[in-house]
Amino acid sequence: MGKTTGFMEYKREVPSDRSPLERIKDWDEFHLHMPDADLRTQGARCMDCGVPFCHSGVLISGMASGCPINNLIPEWNDLIYRNLWRQALDRLHKTNNFPEFTGRVCPAPCEGSCTLASIDPAVTIKNIEVSIVERGFEEGWIVAAPPASRTGRKVAVVGSGPAGLSAAAQLNKAGHSVTVFERANLPGGLLMYGIPNMKLDKRQVVQRRISLLEEEGIRFVCNTEVGGPELPAEKLRKEFDAVVLTTGATLPRDLPIEGRSLKGIHFAMDFLTANTKALLVEGSDFITAQGRDVIIIGGGDTGTDCVGTSIRHGCRSVSQLEIMPRSPDERAADNPWPEWPKIHKIDYGQEEAAALFGADPRVYLTTATRFEGDDDGNVKAVHTVQVSWEKNERGQFIPKPVPGTEKVLPAQLVLLAMGFLGPEQPLLENLGLERDQRSNVKAEYGMYATSLPGVFAAGDCRRGQSLVVWAFNEGRGAARECDRYLMGTTELP
């Protein structure tokens, strides 16, 4: 695919980002776009590799290798190289309902498993993907496409995040009447409130797609807690022919150490959600980092987003504590291609902190031992210690404090970004659903049927905290099985 010798002739290039010191002054997206000619050159690097691992979508060593929604990557790379943008968009939409989202926020496991990446920098798959879909919007190729007829079946989707939107889009395409219930004031779930605006613009990108889905006939009901007094779960089951649960895994992991009840200590998602809401809804309250020393406990995308948000507030300093060691600069011997590359990366938040404060904010192999407060009950410091990972009597690696490495860091704002334990339980208990050992909804992957007939589950509430692209995979799969349940057969992929 692409140009036969392109991978030998052209180097990997990605579009420039807005400079860190410029972009921290606003909430606009920081990624820029490449000219079409440069994108065609990058598409030319796609190899005729025989076995394109990039769209395999399998788990290796517990991590995604290749695209979980099986995007036809070599095909649309070749079409871009040949300047056939409309055909490339058609190929992209065969597997992906929302490439404008994955092209912005997916960590691109496709690039980690790119055959070229075994010897050279990978093909710029993610950048080409978002460029294709944005070209589609610019040219007017992407328009509402309501189904030609309706089946008379009604489906409720609970949760409007990535899994919910993809399930709703596919079920609507099959002709069912779909209503999406969302407890927040705006639809989009993680896409609307979990990811900061500088990574994914809410009005220009998220709302654009929501509006299209509405034009296609999908109904969004916001400010509604399914399982609450206004809409009991059993009422939902009686009024709809099927229900798809896509509530996410929103129960955050806590840090129950001394001083946890002090004011100024918040879960990261509460911080990020309130900030985005304040950008969208005038007068909304939010947790400010302005003028404060900020300590973020936990790494990953959520921790990075807290760094970038705190800087835009005008924090005095920011540090990010990670209990794990720093990843190597290159693949370790036990992390071969085409596994997801577990290597050191500098994300946008760390890049901004380095530009503003002179150093990467991450502190590795470090954990908090207690929070210290002032006389008014506000947090004022975080006590930390370095750790080493050692095996216990059962052969498990656990962190052990290293004596003499204790430190006290000033902090007037502490953000807990240590991941999530699973879905919130009240709705699941209300329905009486079976759950697995990790408290997720019990439903077999590929089938998505729960212990209740006509009730399906997909995304993080079924598999646990995971990638946006896995949520799209599961939402599409749950829609397929829901359609089969309603109609006896299905044509959905």
Determine, yes or no, domain membership for 32. Answer: yes
Are 178 and 301 contained in the same domain?
A: no
Which amino acid, residue 269? M
Are 122 and 162 contained in the same domain?
A: no
pLDDT at 461: 98
Determine, yes or no, domain membership for 28. Answer: yes
Alpha-carbon Rg for the chain in angstroms: 23
Q: 357, 388, 418: which is the final residue of a domain?
A: 418
Determine, yes or no, domain membership for 21. Answer: yes
Are 171 and 229 contained in the same domain?
A: yes
Are 369 and 398 contained in the same domain?
A: yes
Are 179 and 131 contained in the same domain?
A: no
What stretches of 268-333 adopt beta strand conformation (E)?
A: 293-297, 317-321
CA distance 441 to 41: 45
Q: Model pTM greater than 0.85?
A: yes
Q: 111: domain CATH number?
A: 1.10.1060.10
pLDDT at 2: 77
Are 275 and 413 contained in the same domain?
A: yes
- What are the tens digits of pLDDT across the range 369-420? 999 999 999 999 999 999 999 999 999 999 999 999 999 999 999 999 999 9
Start-to-end CA span in the chain (Å): 24
Determine, yes or no, domain membership for 144. Answer: no
- What are the tens digits of pLDDT across the range 275-325? 999 999 988 999 999 999 999 999 889 999 999 999 999 999 999 999 999
Residues whose CB falls within 8 Å of the CB of residue 471, separated by 6 or more in sequence, listed in order:
161, 162, 163, 166, 190, 246, 458, 459, 460
Q: 476: domain CATH number?
A: 3.50.50.60
Are 79 and 186 contained in the same domain?
A: no
Confidence of residue 48 (pLDDT cuts 50, 70, 90): confident
Determine, yes or no, domain membership for 148. Answer: no
Are 464 and 372 contained in the same domain?
A: no
CA distance 79 to 336: 30
Determine, yes or no, domain membership for 492. Answer: no
Environment class of 371 (CB within 10 Å of its CB; exposed 0-12, middle 13-18, buried 19+): buried
For residue 217, give its domain range.
154-250+421-487
- What are the tens digits of pLDDT across the range 77-112? 999 999 999 999 999 999 999 999 999 999 999 999
How many separate domains does the chain show?
3
- What are the tens digits of pLDDT across the range 452-470? 999 999 999 999 999 999 9
Confidence of residue 425 (pLDDT cuts 50, 70, 90): very high
- What are the tens digits of pLDDT across the range 127-148? 999 999 999 999 999 999 999 9
- Mean pLDDT, the chain, integer: 96
Are 388 and 368 contained in the same domain?
A: yes
Determine, yes or no, domain membership for 145. Answer: no
The residue-averaged pLDDT of 474-487 equals 98
Phi and psi torsions of 43, nearest 5°: -65, -30
Determine, yes or no, domain membership for 493. Answer: no
- What are the tens digits of pLDDT across the range 145-178? 999 999 999 999 999 999 999 999 999 999 999 9
State both tokens at 44.
Answer: 């030319």
Alpha helices in 196-267 (DSSP H): 207-215, 233-239
Q: Which of 86, 97, 2 is nearest to 40 (CA)?
A: 2
- Is the bond into 338 cis (omega within 30 degrees of 0)? yes
Are 267 and 406 contained in the same domain?
A: yes
The residue-averaged pLDDT of 220-231 equals 93
Are 179 and 318 contained in the same domain?
A: no
Q: 139, 171, 205: which is the final residue of a domain?
A: 139
Helix (H) or strand (E) holding 146: none
pLDDT at 1: 66
Q: β-strand 251-252 against 397-401: which pairing, if any?
A: unpaired
CA distance 413 to 295: 6
CA distance 310 to 316: 9
Are 287 and 319 contained in the same domain?
A: yes
